[in-house]
Chain A
Amino acid sequence: MAERSFKQEVAKLRLGAGEEFQGEGILAITKALLQSGVSYVAGYQGAPISHLMDVLADANDILESLGIHFENSASEATAAATLAASVNYPLRGAATFKSTVGTNVAADALANLASGGVTGGALIVVGEDYGEGSSIMQERSHAFAMKSQIWLLDPRPNLPKIVEMVEKGFELSEASNTPVMLEVRIRACHVTGSFIAKDNVRPAYGLKDALESPVRDTSRIVLPPASYLHEKEKIELRWPAAVRFITQHRLNEIFPGEARDIGIVMQGGMYNTALRALELLGLANAFGDSNVPLYVLNVTYPLCDDELKRFCRDKRAILIVEEGQPEFIEQAVNTILRRADIQTKVHGKDMLPMAGEYTGAVMREGLRKFIAACRADLLADAPAAAAPPKEALAALGNGVMHNRPPSFCTGCPERPIFTAMKLVERELGAHHVSCDIGCHLFSILPPFNIGNTTMGYGLGGAGAAALNAKAGKRAIAIVGDGGFWHNGLLSSVGNSVFNRSDNLTIIVDNGYSAATGGQDLLSSRHPSPIRATWNSIERAVRGVGVEWVRTLRHTYDVARMRDTLKEALTTKRKGPKVIVAQSECMLNRERREKPLRAAAVKAGKRVVRDRFGVDAETCTGDHSCIRLSGCPSLTIAPHPDPLRRSPVTKVIDSCVGCGLCGEIAHAAVLCPSFYRASVIANPSWWDRKRAGLRARVFDWLRGPAEPSSARSLP
Chain B
Amino acid sequence: MKAANTPRAIRLAILAMGGEGGGVLADWLSDLAQAEGYIVQVTSVPGVAQRTGATIYYLELFPKAGANGRQPVLALMPVPGDVDVVIASELMEAARAVSRGLVTPDRTTLVASSHRVYAMTEKIAMTDGRSDPAALEQACRKAAKHLVMLDMGRIAEKTGSVISAVMLGALAASGALPFERRAYEAAIERSGVGAASSLAAFAASFGAASGQAPVEVVEPASPLPPVPEMLAARIDLLPAAAREIARLGTLRVLDYQDASYAGLYLDRVARIAAIEPDAGDGNAPLATETARQLALAMAYEDPVRVAELKLDPARIERIRAEVKAKPDEIVDVAEFLHPRLEEIAGMVPARLGRTLLRKGLARSLVELLTRKGRTVKTTSVRGFLMLAAVARMKRYRLRSLRHAAEDARVEAWLARLADIAPRNTPLAVEIARALDLVKGYGDTHERGVASYERLMGAVPRLIERPDPAGDLRKLCAAASADDTGRALEIAARLPAGVG
Residue positions of A touching B, CB distance < 8 A: 47-48, 129, 132-135, 157-158, 186-188, 190-193, 271-273, 275-277, 279-280, 282-291, 359-361, 364, 381, 385-389, 391-393, 395-396, 399-409, 439, 442, 445-447, 515, 559, 611, 613, 615, 617-618, 620-624, 626-627, 630, 632, 634-636, 642-647, 653, 661-662, 665-667, 669-672, 674-683, 687-688, 691, 694, 697-698, 701-702, 707-712, 714
A393/B98 contact (C-beta < 8 A), A186-B45, A190-B44, A401-B131 known: yes
Most chain B CB inside 10 Å of its own CB: which residue of A273, A683, A712: A712
A622 and B255: CB pair below 8 A? Answer: no
A675/B136 contact (C-beta < 8 A), A364-B79, A386-B104, A646-B127 known: no
Interface flag for B119 (CB, 8 Å)? yes
Question: Can you name 13 A-B residue pairings with CB atoms under 8 Å?
Answer: A193-B41, A283-B1, A285-B4, A286-B6, A286-B7, A287-B67, A400-B95, A635-B118, A645-B128, A662-B334, A672-B335, A676-B336, A712-B222
Q: Please indicate the chain B residues that have their CB under 8 angstroms from the CB of A391 in the complex.
A: 138, 142
Q: Please indicate the chain B residues that have their CB under 8 angstroms from the CB of A48 in the complex.
A: 47
Q: Beta-carbon contacts of B7-25 to A below 8 Å, as 1s and 0s? A: 1110000000111000000
Residue positions of B touching A, CB distance < 8 A: 1-4, 6-9, 17-19, 30, 40-55, 62, 67, 70-82, 92-93, 95-96, 98-99, 101, 103-107, 117-128, 130-132, 135-136, 138-140, 142-143, 157, 221-225, 245, 248-249, 251-252, 254-255, 292, 295-296, 301, 305-306, 309-315, 318-319, 322-326, 328-338, 340, 372-373, 375, 378-381, 384-385, 388, 436, 439-444, 483
Which A-B residue pairs are the 3 nearest by beta carbons? A666-B373, A360-B79, A710-B251
Docked pose: A442 CA to B48 CA in angstroms: 10
A710 and B225: CB pair below 8 A? Answer: yes
Q: Please indicate the chain A residues that have their CB under 8 angstroms from the CB of B77 in the complex.
A: 132, 187, 273, 359-360
A710 and B73: CB pair below 8 A? Answer: no
A406 and B18: CB pair below 8 A? Answer: yes
B1 and A613: CB pair below 8 A? Answer: no
Q: Is the interface of A mostly helix, strand, loop or mixed?
A: loop
Additional A-B contacts beyond A133-B46, A158-B71, A446-B120 (10; CB < 8 A)? A287-B6, A387-B101, A396-B95, A406-B48, A407-B52, A622-B440, A665-B336, A675-B310, A679-B330, A710-B224
Docked pose: A244 CA to B336 CA in angstroms: 74
Q: Please indicate the chain B residues that have their CB under 8 angstroms from the CB of A671 in the complex.
A: 301, 440-442, 444
Docked pose: A624 CA to B331 CA in angstroms: 27
Most chain A CB inside 10 Å of its own CB: which residue of B17, B43, B248, B443: B43
B309 and A617: CB pair below 8 A? Answer: yes
Q: Please indicate the chain A residues that have their CB under 8 angstroms from the CB of B4 in the complex.
A: 285
A129/B53 contact (C-beta < 8 A), A389-B142, A665-B373, A710-B251 known: no
Q: Please indicate the chain B residues that have their CB under 8 angstroms from the CB of A291 in the complex.
A: 1-2
B104 and A388: CB pair below 8 A? Answer: yes
A84 CB to closest chain B CB (Å) equals 30
B53 and A406: CB pair below 8 A? Answer: yes
A667/B121 contact (C-beta < 8 A), A190-B45, A643-B295, A675-B336 known: no
Q: Please indicate the chain A residues that have their CB under 8 angstroms from the CB of B122 in the complex.
A: 402, 636
B93: nearest chain-A partner, CB-CB:
A404
B8 and A669: CB pair below 8 A? Answer: no
B444 and A710: CB pair below 8 A? Answer: no
B373 and A667: CB pair below 8 A? Answer: yes
A694 and B380: CB pair below 8 A? Answer: yes
Q: Please indicate the chain A residues that have their CB under 8 angstroms from the CB of B81 in the complex.
A: 385-387
B241 CB to closest chain A CB (Å) equals 15
Docked pose: A393 CA to B139 CA in angstroms: 7
Docked pose: A701 CA to B221 CA in angstroms: 30
A387 and B53: CB pair below 8 A? Answer: no
Docked pose: A393 CA to B135 CA in angstroms: 10
Docked pose: A671 CA to B448 CA in angstroms: 14
B119 and A636: CB pair below 8 A? Answer: no
Q: Please indicate the chain A residues that have their CB under 8 angstroms from the CB of B74 in the complex.
A: 272
